[in-house]
Chain A
Amino acid sequence: MLTKRLIICLDVRNRKVTKGVKFAGNVDLGDPVQMAAQYYRDGVDELVFYDIMASAENRPIDIGMVRDVAREVFIPFSVGGGIRNLEDMREVLLAGAEKVSVNSLAVRNPGIIRDGARAFGNQCVVLGMDARRSADPKYPSGYEVVIQGGRTPVGKDAVAWAIEAEKIGAGEICLNSIDADGTKVGYDLELTRKVSEAVGIPVIASGGAGTPQHLMDVLTVGKADAALVASMVHYGTYTVGAIKSEMAKAGLPVRI
């Protein structure tokens, strides 16, 4: 049986894993390659790296870091944040990443999804999407797409954008709830279920994880194929093994 994936997200800034803390800016948590290697040994199913400054500073992703990760980690990992064009995608994949994630670039230029899928295969192209609740009737799903960490609305309905991205070649969607992100009170189950039911490609739920129960909820009620966590494990509150054994106890198929 296909297992439900536990994915750890590492936000990287200047080659340090970092975590935004309200009112306190960012704190550095460690070296991305060492942290990735440790999570790999702990049995995580997949890793995601976001270069959180590359996009803002309009510079390429730290390819040296991608190469170093690929030498230590023999599970799939994706890289995003700062992909500017097809050449950037190629470089990231050739450095050993399994997938490339595009978010604001895909909003500005949806053709990058099609071009990436044609050049490297759909399975390499992940649509990263930030969404938040909206009462505006022009968003029939009740959720709108935003970029720049939720600061900028783009005028798209979240479910409609997911369907469009699948049609033009996205192989997977990493769906982040801006409302839930950082709250640790659980994923946005309604958002996740709406998007997951609307598309035929896998959906990774992101934003809001605080306990293993939250993962179970989003993987069952929310119909997600994978659940992404960050601070739950970065601060040592839970280990990969503890989360997975809770999932297994609850009857979810997991790779132990």
Chain B
Amino acid sequence: MIVIVDYNAGNLTSVQLALRAVGVEAVISRDPAVIADAERLIFPGVGAAGSAMEGLRDLGLTQAVIDFTQTGKPFLGICIGCQILLGSSEEDGGTACLGIFPGRVAAFTPAPGVKIPHMGWNAVRFTRDHAVLQGLPTGSHFYFVHGYYPQLDDPTSPLGVTDYAGVTFPAIYARGNVVACQFHAEKSGEAGLRLLKNFCAWDGT
């Protein structure tokens, strides 16, 4: 069973409907036992890092999510769900995060003519092969909405990078069974659906 984690961070319906469009049924759950039993886990999210971490804590799901990443079963973090896998975020006056990926989340620097959040379709240049990118050409466009961006300590983690506001940041990254994308795969048209389909076929290695 594919489980979408419900931790009051929105956006769950869209992920479920996008999976259905590629022929995959997923359940939405906030039950730690259901999460532990999942064959693969999707960890979505919109909003702010602070409230996302609070949502996990209030529902008693922090450990369930960390534990799942250590099972070897496929795990996909999306948007806020990708950011809070890192050690910390500058958002909400500094937020301690899950620490699954070494690194931190930094704010884009406002500048004249640069709109924050980074909102819209941007190209992702792939830097490494991975099963979840199968069939997608480098430079594919995905839909982004975020005011903060990931900075990874491990230079081998990024699968693809994107340019915005004077920085080049990892838009999708992976380590072992964990994949994380900053863009909203579920709102990224055919490219996003392909990525979700690939994830659902991936064995996590």
* A residues whose Cβ falls under 8 Å from a Cβ of B: 1-5, 40, 43, 45, 70-71, 74-76, 93-96, 98, 120-124, 171-172, 200-202, 223, 225-226, 255
Q: Which one of A3, A4, A43, A98 has the highest number of Cβ atoms from chain B below 10 Å of its Cβ?
A: A98
Question: How far is B10's CA from A95's CA once the two chains are assembled, in angstroms?
Answer: 11
Closest 6 CB pairs of A and B: A121-B47, A255-B141, A255-B121, A123-B145, A96-B13, A3-B121
Q: Which residues of B contact A225 (CB under 8 A)?
A: 115, 119-120
Contacts A74-B193, A76-B187, A121-B10 given: A5-B120 contact, CB under 8 Å?
yes
Q: Which residues of B contact A122 (CB under 8 A)?
A: 117
Q: What are 29 A-B residue pairs whose CB atoms fall within 8 Å in the complex?
A: A1-B122, A2-B120, A2-B164, A3-B123, A4-B120, A45-B121, A71-B20, A74-B18, A74-B187, A74-B190, A74-B193, A75-B143, A75-B187, A76-B145, A93-B10, A94-B13, A96-B14, A98-B14, A98-B145, A120-B10, A121-B10, A121-B47, A121-B48, A122-B117, A123-B145, A200-B115, A201-B116, A202-B119, A225-B119
Q: How many residues of B contact A (CB 8 A)?
A: 36
Contact A40–B189 (Cβ < 8 Å) = yes
- A220 CB to nearest chain B CB (Å): 12
Q: Which residues of B contact A45 (CB under 8 A)?
A: 120-121
Q: Which residues of A contact B163 (CB under 8 A)?
A: 1
Contact A74–B121 (Cβ < 8 Å) = no
Contact B123–A1 (Cβ < 8 Å) = yes
Contact B14–A200 (Cβ < 8 Å) = no
- A93 CB to nearest chain B CB (Å): 7
B188 close to chain A: CB less than 8 A: yes
Contact A74–B188 (Cβ < 8 Å) = yes
- B95 CB to nearest chain A CB (Å): 15
Contacts A70-B14, A74-B193, A120-B10 given: A3-B117 contact, CB under 8 Å?
no
Question: How far is B110's CA from A91's CA once the two chains are assembled, in angstroms?
Answer: 33
- B140 CB to nearest chain A CB (Å): 9
- A7 CB to nearest chain B CB (Å): 10
B17 close to chain A: CB less than 8 A: yes
Q: Which residues of B contact A70 (CB under 8 A)?
A: 13-14, 17
Residue of B nearest to A94 (CB): B13
Contact A171–B119 (Cβ < 8 Å) = yes
Q: A75-B189, A171-B117 are in contact. List 8 more A-B contacts (CB 8 A).
A: A2-B120, A5-B121, A40-B189, A74-B17, A74-B189, A98-B187, A200-B114, A201-B116
Residue of B nearest to A201 (CB): B115
Q: Which residues of A contact B47 (CB under 8 A)?
A: 120-121
Contact B118–A2 (Cβ < 8 Å) = yes
Contact B14–A202 (Cβ < 8 Å) = no
Contact B187–A3 (Cβ < 8 Å) = no
Contact B119–A3 (Cβ < 8 Å) = no
B46 close to chain A: CB less than 8 A: yes
Residues 1-39 of chain B: 1 if any A CB is under 8 Å from the residue's CB, otherwise 0? 000000000100110011011000000000000000000
Q: Which residues of B contact A40 (CB under 8 A)?
A: 189
- A101 CB to nearest chain B CB (Å): 14
B192 close to chain A: CB less than 8 A: yes
- B81 CB to nearest chain A CB (Å): 14
Q: Which residues of B contact A4 (CB under 8 A)?
A: 120
Residues 36-55 of chain B: 1 if any A CB is under 8 Å from the residue's CB, otherwise 0? 00000000001110000000
